[in-house]
Every structure is written in C-alpha cells, then in structure tokens.
C-alpha cells in the first residue's frame, strides 16, 4: 500500500526521460536551431549593426557633397540580409512545431500502433499524453521566448542608427519582436497534435498542419488590430492625415461630421479626387490607427487569446484520447480481455 505513491511519483521523471529518448533527433534539431539562430541574432545585434551604422554615417556625411561618395555598402546589405533571414526563421517556428507534432508526436504513433500499445501500459493514457504535450510545449515555449527577446535586442540596436532598419509596425518585425510568436508556437504545437490524432497518418498530418497554422496566423493578423481601441487622426481637405503606426481604417468625413470608410480618394492629391470629393460634400479625411503606445496592449491581448486557444486545443486533444481509450477498454472488456490494470494489479 505504501509503494504506490512512490511509484507514481517516480513515474513522471521516467516518462519525461523516455519521451526525450524517443524524440532525441527532434530535441537535437531544436537545440541546434535555437543555438544557431541565437548566435545569428547576437551577431546581428553587435558587429553587423555597428558596421551598418558606421556605413550609413559615412553615406550621410560624404554622399551629399561633391567629393567622392565612399561608404561600406556591403555592410549595409549584409545587415539587411541577416536580419531578413533570422526574422523569417524565427517566424517559421510555429509551422515547424505544428509539422513535428502532427507527423511525429501523434500521427506516426497512431499510424504504427505505438500509441495504442503505450496506452495499455502502467501509465494512464491521459497522463502519458499530458507529458507528451507538456515537455515539448516547455521546450518550444522557452526556446521561442529566448529567440524573440534576442530578436528585439538586435532590432533595438539598429533603431535610429541604420536608416533602412525596419519600423516597429512592419508586420514581420512586429510579430518577431513580441510574445505573439511564442503564443503562435504553442498553439501550433497543440494544433499539430490535434491534427495528428484526427488523421492518424504522419505524412497526411504533416501536410495538413502547416496550412492549419497558416490559417491561424491569418486569423490573428486580421483580428489583432481590433483587440484594442484605435487612435484617430483627422485632417482638412488640403492634406491627408499624418500618422505613424498600424493603419486599421481610413476614409472621408462628411458635412455632418460622420466618418465614411473608403479606399479611394482619401486625399485631394489629384484633380479627379478633388472633383469627386467636392461632389460628395467631403470636408476632411480620417485614419484609424495604432500608435507606438498600443504596441504592448496589442501584443499582450493577442498572446492572451492564443494562450486561451492553446488551452482549448489541449482540452480537445485530451478529450479525444479519453474517448478513444474508453472505447478501446469497453471493446476489450466485451471481448473478455482483461485490462492492463487488472493484469498487473497496479494503479494507472
């Protein structure tokens, strides 16, 4: 009677070690990716940013004079290329996590029968699956958070120093600099695991997980601007409203003061637009946008939604496994096959 709690307590470390051993290639691949990308971001933050900033200083101080224009163009292009490659690699992590979870974590185990065999052993199916989800989620979440932090440091090192550095509201930079990417990576991992359980084929789950994450990313991109109240900039007929940030909507202001969204002639830049706005009775223009002050509210709101979605996906995965294992146990009992607990006499 006293040995049962000890065996249950010791079961969790053994399960974790078993998972790390089974998925050792993926663990090594993830470690290599994190270390290589972290090294690239540190290189980007230090020597590359300094060299590009020095090149732009040379350009700004010499290329407007009649003297020969001398600056290190290669340093500027090298910074731009490395920034683009590291940013795209970081944003690819949600797709990689979903593809691995669908193909290797659940899809392949169902396809080969390993999952059903493991469900009949001393560890209960739900506890085993919880460990299978928790361990990769911890590794993916920690690694992605570290890379996002390093990417933000690398971007900050060039802000105001490199003339071609991306603005904070650039879509790729916005996502790579904040916790939204961490939330997407965790949601992608659970989404891939769910796809693998539903399809039960590794290759099919691999092919379906990637577009599923793409659809999730599109939904986040379309929803994110509406998670926080916008700021509004207005102007008269002589000029369009000035703003810096994420544009949500723009349009015209009628004589009654109403804002009417439109995508055409939101300024009087041409004589055609001037005539059309005169005919409309337009008195000015407006733009709804998110300034820099809305950066963290948008990031945290979107991350919260993604974490809630991750919890929902985890509940769906556990519910699906519980339904399948309960059905398997009932069929085995009806056929006169004793359960693993009855054979061993040990609790799951």
Q: Which residues contact 219 (CB under 8 A, 6 or more apart)?
A: none
Residue at 239 is within a domain: no
Residue at 234 is within a domain: no
Residues 182-241: tens digit of each pLDDT = 999 999 999 999 998 888 788 898 999 999 999 999 999 999 999 999 999 988 877 778
Residues 312 and 261 in one domain: no
Residues 28-56: tens digit of each pLDDT = 999 999 999 999 999 999 999 999 999 88
- Residues counted in the chain: 348
Residue at 233 is within a domain: no
Q: What is the pLDDT of residue 36?
A: 97
Residues 184 and 257 in one domain: no
Helices and strands: H and E segment counts in the chain: 14, 4
Strand partners, 213: none
Q: What is the pLDDT of residue 343?
A: 41
Residues 112 and 257 in one domain: no
Q: Which residues contact 42 (CB under 8 A, 6 or more apart)?
A: 150, 154
Q: What is the pLDDT of residue 342?
A: 41
Distance of alpha carbon 106 from alpha carbon 200, whole angstroms: 7
Overall number of domains in the chain: 2
Residue 100 lies in domain: 3-227+295-344
Which of 272, 290, 308 is the last residue in one of the domains?
A: 290
Residue at 241 is within a domain: no
Distance of alpha carbon 227 from alpha carbon 297, whole angstroms: 8
Residues 217 and 276 in one domain: no
Q: Is 341 exposed, middle or buried (0-12, 13-18, 19+ CB in 10 A)?
A: middle
Residues 117 and 30 in one domain: yes
Residues 176 and 259 in one domain: no
Distance of alpha carbon 59 from alpha carbon 72, whole angstroms: 8
Q: What is the pLDDT of residue 290?
A: 96
Angle at the Cα of 135 from the Cα atoms of 130 and 140, rounded to 5 degrees = 125
Residues 43 and 128 in one domain: yes
Q: What is the pLDDT of residue 229?
A: 96
42-67: b or e for each residue (b if 16 or more CB lie within 10 Å)?
A: eebbeebbbbbbbbbebbeeeeeeee
Residues 166 and 54 in one domain: yes
* Of 70, 95, 128, the residue nearest 195 (C-alpha): 95
Q: What is the pLDDT of residue 124?
A: 62
Residues 159 and 181 in one domain: yes
Residues 99 and 161 in one domain: yes
Q: Which residues of the chain have pLDDT under 50?
A: 1-10, 329-348
Residue at 240 is within a domain: no
Distance of alpha carbon 131 from alpha carbon 139, whole angstroms: 12
Q: Please give the C-alpha separations between residue 119 and each of 185, 202, 312, in angstroms, as whole numbers.
A: 27, 19, 23
Distance of alpha carbon 200 from alpha carbon 282, whole angstroms: 59
């Amino acid at each position: 009677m006293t040995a049962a709690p000890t065996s249950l307590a010791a079961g969790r470390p053994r399960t974790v070690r078993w998972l790390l051993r089974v998925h050792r290639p993926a663990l090594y691949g993830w470690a290599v990716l994190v270390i290589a990308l972290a090294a690239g971001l540190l290189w980007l933050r230090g020597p590359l940013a300094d060299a590009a900033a020095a090149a732009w200083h040379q350009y700004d101080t010499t290329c407007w004079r009649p003297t020969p224009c001398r600056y290190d163009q290669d340093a500027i292009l090298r910074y731009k290329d490395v920034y683009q490659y590291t940013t795209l690699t970081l944003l690819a992590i949600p797709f990689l996590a979903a593809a691995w979870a669908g193909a290797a974590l659940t899809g392949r185990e169902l396809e080969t029968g390993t999952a059903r065999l493991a469900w009949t052993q001393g560890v209960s199916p739900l506890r085993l699956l919880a460990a299978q989800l928790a361990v990769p989620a911890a590794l993916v979440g920690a690694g992605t958070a570290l890379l996002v932090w390093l990417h933000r440091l690398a971007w900050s090192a060039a802000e105001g120093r490199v003339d071609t550095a991306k603005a904070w509201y650039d879509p790729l930079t916005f996502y790579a600099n904040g916790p939204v990417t961490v939330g997407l990576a965790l949601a992608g991992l659970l989404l891939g695991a769910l796809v693998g359980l539903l399809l039960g084929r590794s290759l099919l789950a691999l092919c379906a997980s990637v577009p599923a994450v793409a659809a999730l990313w599109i939904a986040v991109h379309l929803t994110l601007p509406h998670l926080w109240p916008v700021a509004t900039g207005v102007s008269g007929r002589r000029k369009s409203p000035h703003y810096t940030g994420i544009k949500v909507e723009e349009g015209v202001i009628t004589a009654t003061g109403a804002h009417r969204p439109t995508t055409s002639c939101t300024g009087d830049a041409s004589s055609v637009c001037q005539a059309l706005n005169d005919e409309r009775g337009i008195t000015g223009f407006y733009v709804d946008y998110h300034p820099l002050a809305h950066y963290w509210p948008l990031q945290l709101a979107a991350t919260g939604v993604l974490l809630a979605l991750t919890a929902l996906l985890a509940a769906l995965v556990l519910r699906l496994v519980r339904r399948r294992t309960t059905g398997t146990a009932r069929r085995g009992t009806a056929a006169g096959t004793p359960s693993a607990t009855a054979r061993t006499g040990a609790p799951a």
